[in-house]
Amino acid sequence: MANETEDKELKDHREPDQSRRNFLKNSGYAVGGLIVGGVVGSLLRTPKKATTNNNANTGNGNNGGAPAAEPVNFNQALMYFTQEQFLITEAATERLFPADDNGPGAKELGVAYYIDHQLAGEWGNNGREYMQGPFYKGETTQGYQGRLKRREIFDIGLQEIQNYSNKKYQKKFKDLAPEEQDAVLKAFETDEVKLTTISASGFFKTLFSATMEGVYADPLYGGNNNMNGWKLKNYPGNQMSYAKIIEQDQFAKMPPVSLKEHLPHS
Amino acid sequence: MATKLPKTDVVIVGVGWGGGIIASELTKQGLSVVGLERGKERKTEDYYMVHDELRYALRYEMFQDLSRETITFRGNEKIRALPMRSYGSFLLGDGLGGSGVHWNGQTFRFLPYDFEIRSKTIERYGKNKIPDGMTIQDWGITYEQLEPYFDKFEKVAGISGEENPKGGKRSDKYPTGPMKTTPGMKLFADACKGLNYHPYHMPSANLSDQYTNPDGIARAACQYCGFCERFGCEYGAKADPVVTVIPVAKNTGKFELRTHSNVRRVLHKGGKATGVLYVDTTTGEEYEQPADIVVLTSYVFNNVRLLLMSNIGKPYDPKTGTGVIGKNYAYQVLKGAAVGFYEDKEFNLFAGAGALGMCIDDFNGDNFDHKDLNFIHGANISYSQTGARPIQNNVVPPGTPTWGKDFKAASIKYANRHLNVGAQGSCMPFRHHYLDLDPTYKDEFGDPLMRITFDFEDQDRELVKFMGAKCGEILKEMGADKVVANTKLAPYEITTYQSTHNTGGVIMGSSPDTSAVNNYLQMWDVDNLFVIGASAFPHNSGYNPTGTVGALAYRAAEGIIKYHKKPGSLV
């Protein structure tokens, strides 16, 4: 598997602290040249072994190639969803972004945990959005004009997915065959499902965009498990500089780095 | 009752590029300046964790909290304006440095044609070329008059670039050389040369090299990390007010910055501004800050809103076309674009910088013949490599399913195998495009929200049709295996990001009948009140606005210093 190979490359060839120190030395940020304060200066620190699993509580288990115990990921618990809501979300997002020959899908990447955590916070509560009335139905050019917050929309949307599955197939959504799950999602995407309280297609769009976030956001948010989302696209994550490769013709494949690597290790 | 504070020479409202430039120039001349900024303080150290697409690009870390204040929008006067409840079309800056912090850094000069657009259009094509309802007007200043101020802004910001072969005459070259050239940029340049166009490196505020500006401010070079637009720069390499002009003002000892200070009214008496009324948002207390000179330097919408809420200037009336405050709201016309897919070539698209690109002006301004075209003006056409961050960049060929297995495979395959060429279309003002106070929706203080009445016109649709085809033609020449050009423009909508290039509302000109401010951005009606920003643009050009905002701010600063010595109208 491609990703296993990359994991090995990561362990063998990359020592993030060292590369950052070299970068600072070579680019003249740390010595000579202009003194640039703030962020860069505070990156100078004692090199220490780093973790390659950002969601893991155990820091050094993967170093040195020795077999390590499966680390516990304490981040994988629920802040908002009920268990039923979680299972629907996990099954639905896996259909939106399924595991295939390219690599893992939404389930393995932790997307449902990501969505749960987001709904528990400001985004789920539309905390920085204008939610004052009066509420009128507007033109599509005017955007969302409802009074419901995202977590309320998910409550309703997930329940309606379950209801539709039960009605049409007499099974829970998570127990449907993949093709049946796709048909249910399609019915929401196209508004074939007629809902009175929310827009089925609006909910589908939010579910899809949240899925993409869970696949590709920094692993600190609970998705993109082990940076495996980034590896699908050869996206290198949080790098200090591309000055050396920006002009080069051939593709620069490099192991990804997460924001965790940016923090000094105590 | 508001607490009345000691009087200052000058009070500025909003500390972004406009406020920072005014503060630095005035304090260097010994004036005392108080800067009121409603957001928080910002510094380079804040961006330690900036390579976070979710937090900054999708959760809008740097932007105004819409739960406190937003705008309302309608496509025309017949429908009810409704609030922009979440972000979409444009992003409102907040905090020290304002939008000047989260910009890409693409720093153009508007063309000589822009400043005399009405005269030059009539001169070349006759009066009938300007369609009914299009309210273009000359700016009351020429490119030649503004050139020294462009030069000044470029030197302070350290703009990296090379001469635009189709631009206005320059008194000096850019202070730093152009940015690096990526393989995609080279393809674009070669293709354009093959088509007899005139490519040049996009002028960039992401420094190509270490640079010390005339104020002695030293900054380091861009590292092409791919996080500019919507992000602050962790290196201070991208010019923003916090790392250029604001420290200069602070070093004089004459600049007092007050953050969390939200100005609600400009106070005035007998045709003179007397100061401003503001709220300390940390305590809710109201203060009156008296000043000899008041300068509005907030974003377009708030400049207009403050004037209307303070009953200063004559509000624009679209029925009669009279009045000026809120007139000539314009935007940017961006849908003329094309994407090219490559089967056998991979580009390092994850790398980039906000203003890393190659562009042409062969179809901008009046650089081409419009005799047989149903639009005026044009667009800067560019290929830029700003860093393809993975959540927001999932380009797939048409016909690909929008989710599921095939979508996943295509979005992964083409992540680094596509190039975009886009046209930044100019936007002409129309009589029925304007800003006024919303009758229904309020901000956190109970003040009315700004209301936008705007839609795209035939002019814009014709422009997109023309530019989309040009972009496609260039991409074919760039060797893409499959080229998809967009030549259609749907009605304007508020939900999809387009650009934060909103303009107009307090426009400049040569007569108080048709403009709100003169060519020093001094209000005709209140001569100790200056209003700075893209709010002064009578139309929007086929470029990013910041270069021209910077130039106008330096000219205004000169005017304010003159006014301080000898009050009265500056023109």
Which residue of B44, B83, B225 is in closest CB contact with A38? Answer: B44
Q: Where do we find the tokens 């007899």?
A: B196
The backbone torsions φ and ψ at residue B338, rounded to the nearest 5 degrees and listed phi first, read -145, 150
Q: Is residue B378 a contact partner of residue B463, using CB atoms and an 8 Å limit?
A: yes
Place A57 in a pLDDT band, splitting at 50, 70 and 90.
Answer: very low
Rounded to whole angstroms, how far apart are CA atoms B549 and B563? 20
Instruction: Give B 139-198 residues with CB within 8 A of chain A.
Output: 180-183
Chain A nearest-CA distance from B495, in A, is 5
Residue A52, pLDDT score: 42
Place B370 in a pLDDT band, splitting at 50, 70 and 90.
Answer: very high
DSSP line for A61-112? TTGGG---PPPP-TT-S-SS--HHHHHHHHHHHHHHS--BTTB--HHHHTHH
Residue A62, pLDDT score: 42
Task: Provide, rounded to the nearest whole percent, the portion of chain A with pLDDT above 90.
Answer: 70
Instruction: Give A 231-260 residues with CB within 8 A of chain B.
Output: 232-243, 245-249, 251-252, 259
Place A265 in a pLDDT band, splitting at 50, 70 and 90.
Answer: low
Q: Is residue B529 a contact partner of residue B567, using CB atoms and an 8 Å limit?
A: no
Q: Is residue B465 a contact partner of residue B504, using CB atoms and an 8 Å limit?
A: no
Residue A5, pLDDT score: 39
CB contact (8 A) between residue A247 and residue B180: yes
DSSP state of A122: T
Q: What is the pTM of this model?
A: 0.92
Place A29 in a pLDDT band, splitting at 50, 70 and 90.
Answer: very low
CB contact (8 A) between residue A232 and residue B412: yes
Rounded to whole angstroms, how far apart are CA atoms B509 and A174? 65
Three-state secondary-structure class, residue B384: strand
Place A264 in a pLDDT band, splitting at 50, 70 and 90.
Answer: confident
**Torsion-angle region of residue A158: left (phi > 0), alpha (psi -120 to 50) or beta?**
alpha
Chain B neighbors of A182, CB-CB under 8 A: 404
Chain A neighbors of B234, CB-CB under 8 A: 38-40
- A127 at B interface, C-beta within 8 A: yes
**Torsion-angle region of residue B536: left (phi > 0), alpha (psi -120 to 50) or beta?**
alpha
- B351 at A interface, C-beta within 8 A: yes
Chain A nearest-CA distance from B200, in A, is 16
Question: Which residues are within 8 A (CB) of B28 and not within 5 positions of it... i.e. 6 or more apart?
Answer: B248, B252
pLDDT at A44 over 50: no
Residue A263, pLDDT score: 81
Taking alpha carbons only, the member of A208, A254, A236 closest to residue B394 is A208
Q: What average pLDDT does range B57-81 have in this prediction?
A: 97
Taking alpha carbons only, the member of A181, A179, A153 closest to residue A88 is A181
Chain B nearest-CA distance from A87, in A, is 18
Rounded to whole angstroms, how far apart are CA atoms A51 and A143? 43
Q: What is the CA radius of gyration of chain A?
A: 22
The backbone torsions φ and ψ at residue A107, rounded to the nearest 5 degrees and listed phi first, read -60, -50
Q: What average pLDDT does range A211-229 have in this prediction?
A: 98
Chain A nearest-CA distance from B273, in A, is 32
**Torsion-angle region of residue B253: left (phi > 0), alpha (psi -120 to 50) or beta?**
left
Which residue of A139, A232, A241 is in closest CB contact with B79? Answer: A139
Distance from CA of residue A143 to its chain's centroid?
25
Other CB atoms within a 10 A radius of the CB of residue A35 amount to 12
Taking alpha carbons only, the member of B489, B488, B490, B563 closest to residue B529 is B563
pLDDT at A1 over 70: no
A128-155: pLDDT as tens digits = 999 999 999 999 999 999 999 999 999 9
Catalytic residue list contains B501: yes
| Average pLDDT of the residues of chain A | 82
Residue A33, pLDDT score: 41
pLDDT at B469 over 70: yes
Q: What is the ipTM of this complex?
A: 0.96
CB contact (8 A) between residue B234 and residue A40: yes
pLDDT at B60 over 80: yes
pLDDT at A20 over 90: no
Which residue of B48, B58, B218 is in closest CB contact with A39? Answer: B48
- A98 at B interface, C-beta within 8 A: yes
Q: What average pLDDT does range A50-64 have in this prediction?
A: 41
Q: Which amino acid, residue B51?
A: H
Q: Which of the residue ranges A70-74, A262-266, B496-500 would you say has the lowest mean pLDDT?
A: A262-266
Instruction: Give B 29-88 residues with CB within 8 A of chain A.
Output: 43-45, 47-54, 58-60, 65-67, 69-70, 73-75, 79-80, 82-86, 88
Q: Which of A129, A232, A240 to mutate to test the interface with B (most CBs of B within 10 A)?
A: A129
Rounded to whole angstroms, how far apart are CA atoms A163 and A195? 11
The backbone torsions φ and ψ at residue A47, rounded to the nearest 5 degrees and listed phi first, read -65, 140
Residue B106, pLDDT score: 98
Chain A neighbors of B409, CB-CB under 8 A: 100, 102
Chain B neighbors of A97, CB-CB under 8 A: 403-404, 408
Torsion of CA B341, B342, B346, B350, to 10 degrees: -10
Rounded to whole angstroms, how far apart are CA atoms B216 and B450? 40
CB contact (8 A) between residue A241 and residue B225: yes
Taking alpha carbons only, the member of B542, B141, B107 closest to residue B367 is B542
Render the burial of B294-307: b for 16+ CB within 10 Å, e for the rest.
bbbbbbbbbbbbbb
Rounded to whole angstroms, how far apart are CA atoms B20 and B96? 9
Rounded to whole angstroms, how far apart are CA atoms B157 and A215? 38
Rounded to whole angstroms, how far apart are CA atoms B159 and B178? 9
CB contact (8 A) between residue A251 and residue B348: yes
Residue A31, pLDDT score: 36
Rounded to whole angstroms, how far apart are CA atoms A171 and B268? 70
| Average pLDDT of the residues of chain B | 98
Torsion of CA B279, B282, B283, B289, to 10 degrees: -30
Q: Where do we find the tokens 């008194």?
A: B171
Task: Provide, rounded to the nearest whole percent, the portion of chain B with pLDDT above 90.
Answer: 100
CB contact (8 A) between residue A36 and residue B82: no
The backbone torsions φ and ψ at residue B128, rounded to the nearest 5 degrees and listed phi first, read -70, -10
DSSP state of B432: T
Chain B residue nearest residue A143, CA to CA? B495
Which token pair is B120? 């030059």
Tell me whether residue B458 is exposed, middle or buried, using C-beta atoms within 10 angstroms of its C-beta: 0 to 12, 13 to 18, 19 or more. exposed
Other CB atoms within a 10 A radius of the CB of residue B571 amount to 11
Residue A71, pLDDT score: 79
Place A68 in a pLDDT band, splitting at 50, 70 and 90.
Answer: low
Chain A nearest-CA distance from B251, in A, is 17
Q: What average pLDDT does range B259-271 have in this prediction?
A: 98
Which residue of A100, A129, A213 is in closest CB contact with B409? Answer: A100
Give the CA diameter of chain B.
Answer: 71
- What percent of chain B is helix, strand and coil (3-state, nearest 5)? 25, 25, 50
Q: What is the CA radius of gyration of chain B?
A: 23
B205-253: pLDDT as tens digits = 999 999 999 999 999 999 999 999 999 999 999 999 999 999 999 999 9
Q: What average pLDDT does range B451-462 have in this prediction?
A: 98
CA dist B548 → A258, B155, B198, B535, B540 (Å): 38, 14, 22, 11, 10
Rounded to whole angstroms, how far apart are CA atoms B306 and B283? 22
Q: Where do we find the tokens 């989302």?
A: A229
Residue A262, pLDDT score: 83
Residue A50, pLDDT score: 41
Which token pair is B204? 């960039």
Chain A nearest-CA distance from B338, in A, is 22
What distance, in Å, lies between the first and last C-alpha atoms of chain A? 34
Give the CA diameter of chain A.
Answer: 71
Taking alpha carbons only, the member of B503, B497, B549 closest to residue B229 is B497
Question: Strands (DSSP E) along B281-392, which ranges?
Answer: 286-296, 327-330, 337-341, 352-360, 379-386
Place A67 in a pLDDT band, splitting at 50, 70 and 90.
Answer: low
Which residue of B183, B391, B415 is in closest CB contact with A217? Answer: B391
Three-state secondary-structure class, residue B257: strand
Task: Provide, rounded to the nearest whole percent, the portion of chain B with pLDDT above 70.
Answer: 100
- B401 at A interface, C-beta within 8 A: no
Q: Is residue B526 a contact partner of residue B291, using CB atoms and an 8 Å limit?
A: no
Instruction: Give A 167-226 residues with CB within 8 A of chain B.
Output: 182, 185, 189, 208, 212-213, 215-218, 220-221
Comparing B62 with A262, the larger pLDDT belongs to: B62
Three-state secondary-structure class, residue B392: coil
**∠ CA A49-A52-A53 to the nearest 5 degrees?**
130
pLDDT at A10 over 70: no
Other CB atoms within a 10 A radius of the CB of residue B12 amount to 33
Three-state secondary-structure class, residue B208: coil
Cα torsion angle, B370, B376, B377, B383, sign: negative
Catalytic residue among B102, B418, B501, B539: B501
Place A232 in a pLDDT band, splitting at 50, 70 and 90.
Answer: very high
Residue B239, pLDDT score: 98
Chain B neighbors of A235, CB-CB under 8 A: 350, 390, 415
Q: Which of A45, A118, A141 to mutate to test the interface with B (most CBs of B within 10 A)?
A: A141
DSSP line for B41-92? ---GGGGGG---IIIIIIS-TTB--TTT--EEEESSTTS--EE--S--S---
Rounded to whole angstroms, how far apart are CA atoms B508 and B324? 10
CB contact (8 A) between residue A42 and residue B219: no
Q: What average pLDDT does range B167-190 have in this prediction?
A: 98
In DSSP terms, B453 is beta-bridged to: B74, B434
Residue B97, pLDDT score: 97
Which token pair is A20? 């950052």
- A155 at B interface, C-beta within 8 A: no
B396-408: pLDDT as tens digits = 999 999 999 999 9
Residue positions counted in chain B = 571
A83-131: pLDDT as tens digits = 999 999 999 999 999 999 999 999 999 999 999 999 999 999 999 999 9
